[in-house]
Amino acid sequence: MPELAEVAYYARRWEPAVGERILRVHAHAQARVFRHASAAAVVHGLTGRALRRVETHGKQMCFRFSEGAWLGVHLGMTGELRAESADYAPQKHDHCVLFTKKRALVFNDSRMFGCLLMDLKERGEPAWWADLPPAILHPAFTVDWVGAALRRRARTPIKAALLDQALFPGIGNWMADEIAWQLALHPARLSGEIEAKALHRAIVKVTRGAMRWIAADWSDPPKSWLFQHRWKPGGHCPRCRAELSRDDLRGRTACWCPECQTL
Ligand SMILES: [Zn+2]
């Protein structure tokens, strides 16, 4: 599932179209991605309007158009955005394609856990954008915020707390494992036992790295991170060389070093 940096990477693929007007919209009206905003609402809302701004916040994408049109995109499990040429012929899983004079902006999602949101709002912001918790690289994401989050989820394993989108928007499975590994914390350690200042520092560090490498050009974080070792069966801890452990923790596979991250 895409995490904040992957989401930012995909959103940027539509950025070249900023300033361009949507001439027509291709939509698979029956597709599940239109469960919140109907295909008709999206077609009506975007046709004739110009893309003004591309933003992301955690896993939420926001595309602002002229005349107060707002399009939200969630990638879910398998969603992705692409930009194609203006004569592009939409394929089976291209559930929504926005055509400008110069290009086709494609939302493709084979499993359709992703979705679209649509609002026409001249003033203010739609709730799905305005009501998000502080983004990790925003000044409002403070040590105090992290401390309050840890107290609220004191009896929850840190790995599960890190995946809570209401507390840490955009953190997903690999980032949560990376943060726990960098702090030498076992993923099942209780959140209430963890120091807010150190956790805040690690969250910001991993997020900055993810944005620098993955969001910029889909390159990998350095070999000194767990990231490069966690995907391989029999991968080894880059700190102590012990073989990495993997297990199910509340429905998600956690990866950790049994030597560095003891309970
Ligand atoms: Zn280790």
Confidence check: pLDDT of 251 > 90: no
Q: What's the gap in Å between 196 CA and the centre of ligand 1?
A: 22
Q: What's the gap in Å between 177 CA and the centre of ligand 1?
A: 13
pLDDT tens readout for residues 151-204:
999 999 999 999 999 999 999 999 999 999 999 999 999 999 999 999 999 999
> Token pair of 74, please?
């969630």
Q: What's the gap in Å between 1 CA and the centre of ligand 1?
A: 26
pLDDT computed for residue 233 by the predictor:
82
Q: What's the gap in Å between 219 CA and the centre of ligand 1?
A: 24
Mean pLDDT for the stretch of residues 68-79: 97
Cα(74)–Cα(6) distance, integer angstroms:
12
pLDDT computed for residue 1 by the predictor:
81
| Whole-number Cα distances in Å, 67 to 32, 53, 54, 98 | 27, 13, 15, 17
Q: What's the gap in Å between 120 CA and the centre of ligand 1?
A: 51
Q: What's the gap in Å between 240 CA and the centre of ligand 1?
A: 4
Average pLDDT, rounded, for the chain: 96
> Token pair of 198, please?
């150190």
Q: What's the gap in Å between 238 CA and the centre of ligand 1?
A: 7
pLDDT computed for residue 249 by the predictor:
84
Report which of residues 244 and 249 the model is more confident about. Answer: 244
pLDDT computed for residue 80 by the predictor:
97
Cα(105)–Cα(98) distance, integer angstroms:
5
pLDDT computed for residue 168 by the predictor:
97
Cα(40)–Cα(38) distance, integer angstroms:
5
Q: What's the gap in Å between 158 CA and the centre of ligand 1?
A: 18
**pLDDT band, residue 122 (cuts 50/70/90):** confident
Q: Is 211 left (phi over 0), alpha (psi -120 to 50) or beta?
A: alpha
